[in-house]
Amino acid sequence: MKKLLGLTLGIMTALGGFVDLGQIVFTMQAGALFSYQLMWSVVLGTLGIIVYMEMCGRIAVVAKEPVFAVVRTQLGFPLGMVTLIASNLLNVITCAAELGGIAVVLHLLTGWPEKLLLIATPVVLGAIIFLLRFQWIERTFGLSGLTMAVFAVSAVTLHPDWSQLARGLAPAITQPDTKHWLLYGYFAVGIFSAMLMEYEVHFYSSGAMEEDWTTKDLGENFMVSAFGSILGALLTAGLLVLGALLFLPRGIFPEILSSTTMAGAFPFGQKALVLALIGTMACLAGAALETGLSGAYNLCQFFNLAWGKNQPAKAVPIFTAAWIGMFVVAFLIAVSGLRPLQLVNISIIFGMVVMPLTYYPILKTAADKNIMGKHVNDRLDTVLGTAFLILIAIAAVAAIPLMIVTHSGRP
């Protein structure tokens, strides 16, 4: 039973990382423009996050080092500090987007004023962090997020062209013109980035230490990282299919969360819509909690300060102040008038730019026999990790130019 409940760490990390606000809208937009042609980027991102999530979990178990302690050691203080600032800026922007998205979903569910709900959202999430232990936070949001399965069920119910979908597992060779090539590249980079967002590994490695995993749990580490990531990938694939089936034939480019959420209930009606809204809210709340806590984890781990959600607040005062501060700043950004989807575009592309600074230290540490002993990477781990790091670096270089020339993916 303990092993089964432990899988919720992977489920929450996957659903809060793969299926957050950015993935819901961004992936449907990709389907609305390119049908199934970008399915390969979903598969590629899934393989990449499995490889690196397993590595950072193994490092946390064997070396007792979470991600940002590894970043400080491998990059040194100056570059590590740059990585810390960039990562926490990314976390707070992403958290702001999720808070805004939660307010939108709650407005659709209740009809209450969106601004009032936006004020209440960080207060409620903060209370949840104060009142629940880490294990119950992950289990509550991980399992409730499974209601997002309605999106995948809807996609299958609408009878996609499976042979065409299979062809999407290979990158498209041609596009009609330069504009379409650039848009194709932008959405490929964006989907890849959204599936490898840094806060996923920050939260995951910290969670492994919060739950006191030992080397006996390394098998569970692989199961959690693989199972959670594959689940998130299946839901992401469902979002892409819905974009292709519902929006592409009608020439619609979905730009608001309500449109994409309603797509999840299209074949079933009102009851399924409520289920889709609840699932969406659970995933957005999970992502907000992950990013808020990750900001505090990063700060304390980098400076070697006491941290831990399961510790009394008085025992970890800086950690407690840091995650509260993350929510306060995120709320101020969200209430400033910036639309959640504007913040999503910024976070996805900015996340890609700084991504190599997180994943390189993980790979270097996991491949160091002096640190990892008999649990060091095998040759396949290192080859795969290196290949994905090269792809991450290429995407990081291309991200901002593609965002500029495509006007953030505008068709």
- What amino acid occupies position 328? V
Here the tokens at position 346 are: 């910024």
**Cβ partners under 8 Å of residue 262, min gap 6:** 273, 276
What is the pTM for the complete model shown?
0.94
Gap between the Cα atoms of 387 and 349, Å rounded: 20
Gap between the Cα atoms of 362 and 367, Å rounded: 9
Please report, for the chain, the start and end positions of each structural domain, with discontinuous segments joined by +: 2-405
| Tens-place pLDDT, residues 253-306 | 998 888 888 898 888 988 889 999 998 998 899 999 999 999 999 999 999 999
Write out the H or E segment, with its range, that includes residue 107. Answer: helix 77-110
Here the tokens at position 65 are: 């080092």
Category of 121 on φ-ψ map: left (φ > 0), alpha (ψ -120 to 50) or beta? alpha
Per-residue pLDDT of the chain (411 residues; tens, 9 = 90+): 555 555 666 666 656 556 788 788 889 999 999 999 999 999 999 999 999 999 999 999 999 999 999 999 999 999 999 999 999 999 999 999 999 999 999 999 999 999 999 999 999 999 999 999 988 887 788 778 788 889 999 999 999 999 999 999 999 888 999 999 999 999 999 999 988 999 999 999 999 999 899 999 898 888 888 888 888 899 999 999 999 999 999 999 998 888 888 898 888 988 889 999 998 998 899 999 999 999 999 999 999 999 999 999 999 999 999 999 999 999 999 999 888 878 888 888 999 999 999 999 999 999 999 999 999 999 999 999 999 999 999 999 999 999 999 999 988
Of 118, 128, 110, 131, give the one whose Cα is nearest residue 286: 128
- What amino acid occupies position 136? W
Gap between the Cα atoms of 4 and 7, Å rounded: 5
What dotted CATH number matches 2-405? 1.20.1740.10
